[in-house]
Structure 1
Amino acid sequence: MSADRSALRRAIERGERDGGAIEFKERLTREVHLAEGRMESLVAQLRHRVLSGDGEATYVLGVTDDGGLAGIAPETFSETMDVLSLLADEADAHIADVETWSAGSAGNGGSEGLVGLATLRDGGMFETDDDHLVVGTAGHVDHGKSTLVGTLVTGRADDGQGGTRGFLDVQPHEVERGLSADLSYAVYGFEEAGGEPVRMDNPHRKSDRARIVEEADRLVSFVDTVGHEPWLRTTIRGLVGQKLDYGLLVVAADDGPTKTTREHLGILLATELPTIVAITKADAVSDDRVAEVEREAESMLRDAGQTPLLVDRHGIDAAVAEVGDGVVPLLRTSAVTKDGLGTLDRLFETLPKRATPERAEFRMYVDRSYKVTGVGAVASGTVNSGTVEAGDELLLGPMADGSFREVEARSIEMHYHRVDKASAGRIVGIALKGVDEAEIERGMALVPRESDPDPVREFEAEVMVLNHPTRIQEGYEPVVHVETVSEAAVFAPEGGRLLPGDTGQTRVRFKFRPYLVEEGQRFVFREGSSKGVGTIRGVDSAE
């Protein structure tokens, strides 16, 4: 809910007038306002308002005809938005933004219901046909992941104190401590091949992120993970569950590769994610020290069976052609001087989108959920496969008992820009009708209503043990990370045990509840200092 009421106040003061772009509506209902005859009149009215505003109109909702704050219940506001969206679609327009306030907080005797401003713009809702690259960052705490991304997406030089990191730290304690504690997201893009990047003036403004989505022909979204050891589980969630195209591993020139750096590299390689290594903070040390850390990074990559490719020496075209398949491009950067950032721009502009799963139908694993006033429950995540459109009838689950809930995709947003559909690789928030936010859990999946999903409690897997102090045997209970699922599971290895470095078969059972997983999906498992990777080879229905 918005705090600043100035936009609402200005709209009410300007008022409705013939030939104006502002319209007052107390409420809209399907039964009354979508009835034959009434709907056509409202569509014509909306079209007139949009044209009168040179392509943009403002609908003030929850107010009387004279601008009084009536306020409407959240469920009524939600229905009003649904009806307004349908009217806009018929008028070849779309809802670009919505702000809401409590009518009672105005101190003028209004009710405790909601009032809102809906901004409508000419043209159909934006479609996400643009090329969209998703990059996940990794690396040790304080090695400059968030600072590098903050400088990339804004074009602003850092102040040497991690100032641009503030564009990504979303919680007050993260800003105060200078340490990320959860996944953060950022976006920038490119308007045309070889053109200047389209950057954000202020990533904290929703409208700024939406502008990037609207203007850019190619989008680059960053999933910024956590470098602090206690939050390794969150890092794994970001690298495994977000359908990334590439990994960006940072190594600070004033520190060099650490145990955490190597651990994150291992996760990136284990999930077969093409990776780029950026040496950060090159401005903070001497050239000799940068060269030394560069050699250390090369050695780290060779120890992991990879071939380092120095971008400054071999060029961007070689890096684009060779990345993956055992080759890792390596370059020097500084968020303070912006050295190397032009090279990263050209890489992200040129790198190809990775292939999406062969599965044709829509699927999205839920990473987060939240409640939006006047909209309801929202599930966010990365579209795993297929395409989803606003209005689609879906299934959400599995629930703890293995069942799926029937829901409807009320609306879709990508980086705060409302879109009419989203395809594989897009990071989106989907407003859902038919479920409360408290019922949505990370690891659940959204699939088409007509599909017949089978919840899975047990599966067969091929695993490789990367590290374990002794041996893995029957009853071993790590946390398994597959897509956005992070769940304790019980292993039963074929032959009774697995030693460090072994590759073998094991049966895996989710300890508490079923999930929607399938053959071929890769996963990471971890328990204390024990780590490993695996691939699902066969599943058993939970029913």
Structure 2
Amino acid sequence: MSADRAALRRALERGEREGGSVEFKERLTRAVHLADGRLESLVAQLRHRVLSGDGEATYVVGVTDDGGVAGISPEAFSESMDVLSLIADEAGAHIDDVQTWGVAPDGGTAQRGAGSETETDGLVGVATLKEGAVLDVDDDHIVVGTAGHVDHGKSTLVGSLVTGDPDDGQGGTRSFLDVQPHEMERGLSADLSYGVYGFDDEGAVRMDNPHRKSDRARVVEEADRLVSFVDTVGHEPWLRTTIRGLVGQKLDYGLLVVAADDGPTKTTREHLGILLATELPTVVAVTKADAVSEERRREVEREVERLLRDADRTPLPVERYGVETAIEEINEQVVPVVSTSAVTMEGLPVLDELFEHLPKTGETEGDFSMYIDRTYNVTGVGAVASGTVRSGTVETGDELLVGPLADGAFREVEVRSIEMHYHPVEEASAGRIVGIALKGIGEADLERGMVLLPRSADPTPVREFTAEVMVLNHPTRIHDGYEPVVHLETVSETVSIHPEDGQLLPGDSGTARVRFKFRPYLIEEGQRFVFREGSSKGVGTVTDVTPAE
């Protein structure tokens, strides 16, 4: 073998032996190797290999038990790396590096790389695994919530951003943001953000294959600054889900897309209203610029600018004023507008520059807190709560409180482990989207809207609170006892609203008492919320959580 295959040669020469750090695997599959019983034995085997190698193990994939180079398809190799990553997670280790070679028809190998024209039948690879999570995640990590009408290119645009690949004109890069069933079942990765990329001193750090957990973990490890995307649903019937995505996460910025071939729609206005009502600094991307004439694109840009002015916001066309000005001026009132195409990649370098330099927003100091957005039960791990860290820092081994339960009580739990974008981490701070495995509670007892807090906290959940509310849209008027659904942090619950003056008309603002219909929640003064029922909607700010006398 030549020098470029030295890692493979060394691993094969050392061989798979008892008490050694090398393990041969022809392939790993989810169906077989993640099954109960088999997973536990593979985790124990990996721990043994890592311990034997003083904290480092070598897995050779695509070879037989006796070290024969067999090769497997790229799809099978990708699945094997996914499974190996999951096994490593359970063993308290992580994949540090992967090298691959193509297996030629004559049984020889050629290292995979750009420009290689060697004919291959399959792949063989060497994965280096290391003990623990060595990632330092104390970076400037921003979270962007995407919104926009269905088929306006929201997911396609983000797919091209996180990979650097142009779309095929049929929404091909949209698939990069799909959540795979096995990811939903596992849950520990807390895949609330369906895309992630980052930046280092040399520029953008992107994903080669977003479906591979190890590839997302690589981005987290290599980037000095991370950008996570929380994708929302563009279909009108799922507006409630969109509200949860935009209100329930600790977002730094909104990214609203408007297709140049369609222009602003009713859903566009709904989503813009939610973004602006929550005072989230927002960027508008006019997508599909390649699909229309220059005249039509300019027309849609003018429509977007009128829409923003009607909402008392100032549009800032980036093409006219420049990226630096957009970075300096963006706030709750000033909205940069960028023309883009995922097919030609027009405008994507502008979005890159924006996301690389936009500052982190919101208060992140104080004690740890996280509102739970999703819950899972993971075999061998137990209950997992996922969400966005709201404030402070959480570490593996921390003792926390979780609640309120249905009776208003909080339960003591311990942090087993933390994952961020498929990468195990020892700690996570405000703004990180994480999955936290909890010891001391079952998944059945966890619910969306609960909060994780330090053990020393003394939380007081409430059934009702006072708020300053504003009615954005209603066919008539809001009377005493009106029952919409309130979206506050990750809480989505039916409430009754009792205006101080007995009623509120569309466009009115006023004080009201808001009461949860079914159970108490932990609410704080200053929190903003959206309420909705049918075509009616409004916004509010919590002003007092003192129980009414």
Question: TM-score, normalising length from structure 1?
Answer: 0.79
Q: 1:83 to 1:161 in 2, by over 3 A?
A: closer
Query: Match of 2:124?
Result: none
- State the SS of the aligned residue for 1:525: strand
Counterpart check, 1:141 vs 2:147: no
Q: 1:516 to 1:432 in 2, by over 3 A?
A: same
Query: Match of 2:265?
Result: 258
Out of 390-399 and 182-191, give the one that drifted further. 182-191
Q: 1:500 to 1:449 in 2, by over 3 A?
A: same
| TM-superposed deviation, 1:262 | 1.0
| TM-superposed deviation, 1:123 | 7.1
Give me the whole-angstrom Cα distance separating, in 2, the residues matched to 1:465 and 1:395.
36
Q: 1:26 to 1:485 in 2, by over 3 A?
A: closer
Query: Match of 1:443?
Result: 449
- State the SS of the aligned residue for 1:456: coil
Query: Match of 1:473?
Result: 479
Give the % identical residues: 70
Query: Match of 1:39?
Result: none
| TM-superposed deviation, 1:14 | 5.7
Gaps of 5+ in 2: 1-10, 25-36, 60-86, 97-126, 182-190
- State the SS of the aligned residue for 2:406: coil
Give me the whole-angstrom Cα distance separating, in 1, the residues matched to 2:90 and 2:304.
57
Counterpart check, 1:20 vs 2:21: yes
Q: 1:212 to 1:437 in 2, by over 3 A?
A: same
8 A contact 1:457–1:540 mirrored in 2? no
Q: What letter is aligned with 2:492?
A: S
8 A contact 1:407–1:432 mirrored in 2? yes
- State the SS of the aligned residue for 1:480: strand
Q: 2:219 aligns with which of 204, 212, 222?
A: 212
Query: Match of 2:134?
Result: 125
Give me the whole-angstrom Cα distance separating, in 1, the residues matched to 2:239 and 2:533.
11
8 A contact 2:478–2:503 mirrored in 1? yes
Render the CA deviation track for 1:21-49: whole Å, top value 9, x for unaligned: 459x9999xxxx9xxxxxxxxx9995651
| TM-superposed deviation, 1:95 | 4.6
Map 1:7-406; keep pairs closer than 5 Å. Answer: 15-18=16-19, 20-21=21-22, 49-50=53-54, 55-56=56-57, 85=92, 94-95=93-94, 120-121=129-130, 125-170=134-179, 185-192=194-201, 195-358=202-365, 360-406=366-412
| TM-superposed deviation, 1:17 | 3.6
Q: What letter is aligned with 1:329?
A: P
- State the SS of the aligned residue for 2:326: helix
Q: 1:121 to 1:231 in 2, by over 3 A?
A: same
Give me the whole-angstrom Cα distance separating, in 2, the residues matched to 1:14 and 1:517.
59
- State the SS of the aligned residue for 2:506: coil
Query: Match of 2:440?
Result: 434
Q: 1:82 to 1:282 in 2, by over 3 A?
A: closer
| TM-superposed deviation, 1:449 | 1.2
Give me the whole-angstrom Cα distance separating, in 1, the residues matched to 2:49 and 2:137.
28
Q: What letter is aligned with 2:170?
A: Q
| TM-superposed deviation, 1:224 | 0.8
Counterpart check, 1:409 vs 2:415: yes
Q: What letter is aligned with 1:479?
A: V
Give me the whole-angstrom Cα distance separating, in 2, the residues matched to 1:388 and 1:124.
15
Give me the whole-angstrom Cα distance separating, in 2, the residues matched to 1:366 and 1:542.
27
Give me the whole-angstrom Cα distance separating, in 2, the residues matched to 1:317 and 1:472.
44
Give me the whole-angstrom Cα distance separating, in 2, the residues matched to 1:319 and 1:281.
22
Q: What letter is aligned with 1:426?
A: R
| TM-superposed deviation, 1:170 | 2.1
8 A contact 1:479–1:527 mirrored in 2? yes
Query: Match of 1:36?
Result: none
Q: 1:465 to 1:327 in 2, by over 3 A?
A: same
Q: 1:300 to 1:339 in 2, by over 3 A?
A: same
- State the SS of the aligned residue for 1:186: strand
8 A contact 1:455–1:542 mirrored in 2? no
Q: 1:81 to 1:293 in 2, by over 3 A?
A: closer
| TM-superposed deviation, 1:355 | 2.8
Question: TM-score, normalising length from structure 2?
Answer: 0.78
Give me the whole-angstrom Cα distance separating, in 1, the residues matched to 2:495 and 2:364.
25
8 A contact 1:455–1:541 mirrored in 2? no
Query: Match of 2:500?
Result: 494
Query: Match of 2:538?
Result: 532
Q: 1:83 to 1:154 in 2, by over 3 A?
A: closer
Q: 1:320 to 1:18 in 2, by over 3 A?
A: same
- State the SS of the aligned residue for 2:540: strand
Give me the whole-angstrom Cα distance separating, in 1, the residues matched to 2:403 and 2:357.
37
- State the SS of the aligned residue for 2:463: strand
8 A contact 2:192–2:230 mirrored in 1? yes
Give me the whole-angstrom Cα distance separating, in 1, the residues matched to 2:364 and 2:470.
23
| TM-superposed deviation, 1:171 | 5.7
8 A contact 1:309–1:319 mirrored in 2? yes
Q: 1:119 to 1:420 in 2, by over 3 A?
A: farther
Give me the whole-angstrom Cα distance separating, in 2, the residues matched to 1:168 and 1:208.
14
Gaps of 5+ in 1: 1-9, 34-42, 59-79, 86-93, 98-117, 173-181
8 A contact 2:315–2:336 mirrored in 1? yes
Q: 1:16 to 1:455 in 2, by over 3 A?
A: farther
Counterpart check, 1:459 vs 2:460: no
Query: Match of 1:523?
Result: 529
Give me the whole-angstrom Cα distance separating, in 1, the residues matched to 2:51 and 2:339.
53
- What's the Cα RMSD here? 3.1
Q: What letter is aligned with 2:343?
A: V
Render the CA deviation track for 1:213-233: whole Å, top value 9, x for unaligned: 000000000001111111101
- State the SS of the aligned residue for 1:443: coil
| TM-superposed deviation, 1:376 | 1.4
